[in-house]
Amino acid sequence: MNEVLFQKEEMIEKQLKARGIKDPRVLEAMMEVPREEFIPKALVEHAYKDTPLPIDEEQTISQPYVVGLAAEILNIREDDRVLDVGTGSGYAAAVMSKLGKEVYTIERHKTLAEAAKKRFDQLGYDNIHVLHGDGTKGWPEHAPFDAINIAAGAPRIPEFLKKQLAIGGRLIIPGGSEFRTQRLVLATKMNGEFKERDLGSVQFVPLIGAGGWRNRKEKSVSPKKEKKSVIELIEAVAEPFNNPESADLSPLLERIGDARIVLIGEATHGTSEFYQLRELITRELIKKKGFNIVSLEADWPDVAHLDRFVRDTNVSPPDEEPFIKFPTWMWNNGEVLRFVKWLKDYNENKSEPSQKTGIYGLDFYSMFASVKAIIDYLEDINPSLAETARNRYGCLTPYENNPASYGAAAMSDEYKKCEKDVTHMLYKILANRVEAAEKNGARYLDALQNARLVANSEEYYRNMYLGAQSSWNLRDNHMFGTLMSLMNHRGPDSKAVVWAHNSHVGDASATEMGARGEHNIGQLAKEDFEEKAFNIGFGTYHGTVAAAHNWGDKMSVMNVQPSPKESFEHLMHQVKHDNFLLPLHKKGHEQLTEELEKSRLERAIGVIYRPKTEIQSHYFQASLSNQFDEYIWFDETRAINPLPQRKKEEGVPATYPFGL
């Protein structure tokens, strides 16, 4: 079997069928259309991956699942005439041409329209007709249409298109009041009335035209005032500093205001400056704004060691040494150690336990260490329940050394009972909540979180084999749920700082993650807390980074490649300041917000770095000012300082994407 055929079949099985697309005609069309012919040559190796890809004119080709979903929802019959608004590369039109009689596709960018027509001619798609024009006005000469596919987001269904839809016709559109985030809506025309059905959140490029959004590039500028370049706009707002220690954080604290959650990111898991400034910001939030929770993208039992140290609690530490699993350097480094020592000193000056700031892990990869923590806890308070837990969790233990293999076994009926068992144990813990909290609130919280961790991570490892989207969402749902449990435990005055990668703390709906149905902690926090959640992203252009070439490899100090010109990093590199804080929503500087709202490439380096495939492996499309409230830039950075390793253990599998 050749490689392309293998990738196609894998796409059909893992991206389409596994997510519920069952129409055999749609699956056959997706199999027949060569997606590699519709993307830039430099990205051909990613043609059948579960992601949208950039094309010319700041547009994207939708991920295969989105195209397949649209085709199935529209229920295109052999004699149907289809209108496709937003041709782009032409991939969606090609798929629909395999299903219907004629496809009429409209593209507002002349270069894309011409390229698509040439591509259709070369590939022999003689039932596709291309028009360069305003797609919101439709193509009235060929109306009515049995199905209309709108591949761009709009505030509402354009009236022109409503009139051109046949009675009984179906129309799908990403609709909503936000410029970059929408809800996918199916509208069916019945006797002139439209019946709508919400199909979930999505992210598409905006639909520009008379019936959509106004082209923000064409906003009028006062003739008395010359329009500034985006570089000049950044320089007018940027707050420069020489090094992390010299940064004036007072203006940032004012912008944070009375937020209850501050999410502080990092563009890599191995850059010293990101850790340093994140630590200094957190210190100020604790001292001046009363933040009492610091939560890390790290395993709960590992960070329990740190919390016991900084708060001097009576919670028994886990038997296993913390941070000995790959990637050890991510939290076992000098930059984190400095903060932990500072937090210990800060807490020692607090007389009441409730006044002390705790530090907690949000993640769940220590599934089996957590099972042990629950059983040990139950042994003390209820030996009978401990034995029940030991029996129920027994179905997981064969996979302690390689939890990813549990996902493969979980596909069989024999292991399906584990989901019921681990969640039942969580309910047992919850049922004892009042009594346990009265006896020892701190220890109870630890056991409760470990029970949640096992239930969620069991589901995570099963879903690793069903597709990246569900695994990613499960993980971030778990981390956000942990954060909410911590805040509830600390009471109404709780305030939390989150330390995690940009891909977790920035609003996912403002990136291509949202387009493929993924969300993250940052998005969930914004939805729940609105202006009371403040997120901060980091970026760098070049320097060194601590990372591994592959999951489980030894850490190396690698050179960070300079960023491509289509990226936010390249844009920031042109600013005259080397290091600066950049407020993205500063009053009086709305033009900068709009400029940085435009989609560009953004870099993400996790614990894995692959410089040879830099763009393909480490860049994604994003809208910076919709993703973050603040952006902190270091033009040149250096690797973190890992601490000596105490002992080694076999690591756990990589997370999606890029090992973040």
Catalytic residue numbers read 62
CA distance 646 to 660: 24
| Cα(260)–Cα(49) distance, integer angstroms | 38
Say which amino acid occupies 394. G
Rg of the Cα atoms in the chain: 26
CA pair distance 538, 532, nearest whole angstrom:
20
Separation CA 319–CA 209 (nearest Å): 62
The first and second tokens of residue 318, run together, are 């886990």
* Number of residues assigned to the chain: 660
Q: What is the SS3 assignment for 577?
A: coil
Amino acid found at 479: M
10 Å CB burial of residue 322 (0-12, 13-18, 19+) is buried
Q: Coil, helix or strand for 261?
A: strand
Torsion-angle region of residue 627: left (phi > 0), alpha (psi -120 to 50) or beta? alpha
Closest CA to 620 of 578, 589, 658: 658
Q: Assess contact for 28 and 16: CB atoms under 8 A.
A: no
Closest CA to 25 of 127, 98, 102: 98
Phi, psi at 448, each rounded to 5°: -60, -45
**CB of 540 within 8 A of CB of 580?**
no
d(CA 580, CA 577): 7
Cα separation, 331 vs 335, whole angstroms:
9
Q: What is the DSSP letter of 639?
A: B
State how far the Cα of 146 lies from the Cα of 159, in Å rounded to an integer.
16
Which residues, 6 or more positions from 221, have their beta carbon under 8 angstroms from its beta carbon?
Answer: 227
Give CA–CA dist 204/598, Å, rounded. 12
